[in-house]
Homo-oligomer: A and B are copies of this chain.
Amino acid sequence: MDAIDRQLVELLRGNARLSYAELARQVGLSAPAVHERVGKLEASGVVRGYHADVDPEAVGLGVTALIGVVQDSSSGDIDDVLDTVRDMPEIESCYFMAGEESFLLKARVGTITELEHLIVRLNRTPGIARTRTAVALSTKWEGRPQATREPS
Contacts and interface: CB of A to CB of B under 8 A. Distances in A.
A91 B46 CA distance: 21
A96 B135 CA distance: 9
A96 B61 contact: no
Contact of A51 (B14, B82, B96): B14
A146 interface: yes
A59 interface: yes
Interface of A: 1, 6, 9, 12-17, 44-55, 57-61, 64, 66, 82, 86, 89-99, 101, 103-104, 108, 110-111, 134-152
The 4 closest A-B pairs by CB, nearest first: A12-B52, A59-B148, A16-B50, A94-B140
